Amino acid sequence: MVHLRHNAALAAILTLTPSASAADCTRDGLLSAAHSYLAAQTAGKPSTLLLSSNFTYQQNNKVSAIASGLLSTAYPIALNRSTADTTACASYTMWISTAGAKPFVVSTQIRHANNDTSSIAMIDTVSATTGDLFFDAKKTLGYIQKEDWTDIPVGKRPSRELLKKVGDGYLDMWTDAKAADSIPWGTECERVEGSQYTNPCGKTLPRGGSKKNNGLRRYVIDEVMGSVDVLCQFDSLGAWPDSHEVRVVDGKVKYVHTVTNMRGVGT
Ligand SMILES: *[C@@H]1O[C@H](CO)[C@@H](O)[C@H](O)[C@H]1NC(C)=O
Ligand SMILES: *[C@@H]1O[C@H](CO)[C@@H](O)[C@H](O)[C@H]1NC(C)=O
Ligand SMILES: *[C@@H]1O[C@H](CO)[C@@H](O)[C@H](O)[C@H]1NC(C)=O
């Protein structure tokens, strides 16, 4: 349900979703909310966001105060990309900042309650900066800028089930020796882990070895983009807040991106 706090909130709701009803979760509504998040981040003003009364902010797998989180500092955004999950009523946004006080590569899932994209129920962020796994924002930006993220044509879109299976299969490789072979690797496919680049992406894969399953998995699945993003805690290697995003094109893995926070602190 929509919670009106003041007139500015009302005006923004009308701009965000002119025609959506609360009954269905629309792609446009999800992407508008994701854009409002990016605008708030660019301005360093979380107060501009339309948050539901039961809003939760989570940063690096810890519930915390949005007012003192990453959103409270303005970062110039060099690149952003969002995907939309109309079934879960959630979106995924990644953004890269190379020019601010601190470079960042950030993965954020935004969730909405009751299919109502005019207010945000949860912002769930994993952020990486200097000192994190293979961190180099400029290098990452260079790889990601060259990628093709056009919509997958109707009839060629991977199913939700396949995307979930690929996302889970990927995170299971560290604990399940057979998981790597369950994934349909593409021959022309790129893996960008932090700023570490591997092509083809199915090269040098883990085959079990850890007893700790990568846990706390949260999914955003977008059949139109052929992508799944899973936020998790990377327990197999060290309880790190982590994002793994995989894109499937023509039934095969095309891109893999990881954002991993190894510092275990607020931002
Ligand atoms: C996000 O990226 C789009 C292009 O993909 C751009 O038009 C928009 O201005 C960007 N938003 C921000 C806040 O940088
Ligand atoms: C409030 O949010 C929490 C955490 O997301 C959720 O578990 C709970 O069910 C929500 N409560 C209501 C009344 O929506
Ligand atoms: C949200 O929308 C989906 C698909 O449009 C529908 O199946 C579901 O029942 C809706 N949920 C609510 C809480 O309205």
Q: Which residue has the higher pLDDT, 230 or 3?
A: 230
Tell me the pLDDT band of 5, cut-offs 50, 70 and 90.
very low
Q: Which residue has the higher pLDDT, 79 or 5?
A: 79
Residue 101's pLDDT is 80
Tell me the pLDDT band of 23, cut-offs 50, 70 and 90.
confident
Tell me the pLDDT band of 16, cut-offs 50, 70 and 90.
low
> What would the CATH number be for the domain defined by 160-260?
3.10.450.50
Ligand 2 atom closest to the Cα of residue 122 is 5
Q: Please give the angle made by the CA atoms of 247, 216 and 173, to the nearest 5 degrees.
A: 55
Tell me the pLDDT band of 263, cut-offs 50, 70 and 90.
confident
Average pLDDT over residues 3-9: 47
Q: Where are the alpha helices (DSSP H) in the chain?
A: 7-16, 27-43, 137-145, 160-172
How many Cβ atoms from other residues are within 10 Å of residue 74's Cβ? 15
Instruction: Please tell me if the CB atom of residue 42 comes closer than 6 angstroms to any atom of ligand 1.
Output: yes
What would the pLDDT profile of 64-113 be if each residue is shown by its tens digit? Answer: 999 999 999 999 999 999 999 999 999 999 999 999 789 999 999 999 99
Which of 115, 117, 160, 221 to probe ligand 3 with, by most ligand atoms within 8 A of CB?
115
How many Cβ atoms from other residues are within 10 Å of residue 119's Cβ? 25
Residue 200's pLDDT is 95
The closest ligand to the CA of 94 turns out to be 1
* Antiparallel, parallel or unpaired: β 79-85 and 196-198: unpaired
Q: Give residue 150's region: left, alpha or beta (phi > 0; psi -120 to 50).
A: beta
Alpha carbon distance 222, 84 (integer Å): 5
Average pLDDT over residues 38-54: 97
Would you state the structure tokens that stand for residue 158, as one six-digit string? 């991977």
Ligand 2 atom closest to the Cα of residue 54 is 1
Residue 168's pLDDT is 98
pLDDT at 6 over 50: no
DSSP string, 171-230: HHTTT-TTGGGGS-EEEEEEEEETTEEESSTTSS---S--SS--EEEEEEEETTTTEEEE
The closest ligand to the CA of 30 turns out to be 3
Alpha carbon distance 44, 38 (integer Å): 10
Report CA-CA distances (Å) from 19 to 15, 51, 111.
Answer: 10, 19, 20
Average pLDDT over residues 231-243: 95
The closest ligand to the CA of 93 turns out to be 1
Q: How far is the CA of 229 from the centre of ligand 1 (A)?
A: 20
Say whether the peptide bond before residue 76 is cis (omega within 30 degrees of 0): no
> What would the CATH number be for the domain defined by 4-144?
3.10.450.50
Residue nearest to atom 3 of ligand 1 (CA): 80
Residue 1's pLDDT is 40
Instruction: Please tell me if the CB atom of residue 122 comes closer than 6 angstroms to any atom of ligand 2.
Output: yes
The per-residue b/e assignment along 144-182, b for 16 or more CB within 10 angstroms, e otherwise, is beeeebeebeeeebbebebbebbbbbbbbbbbbeebbee
Domain ranges of the chain: 4-144, 160-260
What would the pLDDT profile of 197-227 be if each residue is shown by its tens digit? Answer: 999 999 899 999 999 999 999 999 999 999 9
Same fold, 4-144 and 160-260: yes
Q: Which helix (H) or strand (E) holds 63?
A: strand 62-63
Residue nearest to atom 13 of ligand 2 (CA): 54
Residue nearest to atom 5 of ligand 3 (CA): 24
Alpha carbon distance 258, 10 (integer Å): 37
Ligand 2 atom closest to the Cα of residue 55 is 2
Which of 2, 3, 54, 56 to probe ligand 2 with, by most ligand atoms within 8 A of CB?
54
Residue nearest to atom 14 of ligand 3 (CA): 23
What would the pLDDT profile of 129-183 be if each residue is shown by its tens digit? Answer: 998 989 999 999 999 999 999 999 999 999 999 999 999 999 999 999 999 999 9
Q: How far is the CA of 80 from the centre of ligand 1 (A)?
A: 6
Alpha carbon distance 181, 59 (integer Å): 33
Long-range contacts made by residues 180-183, C-beta under 8 angstroms, separation at least 24? 180/205, 180/206, 180/207, 183/253
Alpha carbon distance 142, 128 (integer Å): 17
Residue 77's pLDDT is 97
The closest ligand to the CA of 54 turns out to be 2
Would you state the structure tokens that stand for residue 208, as one six-digit string? 């079990």
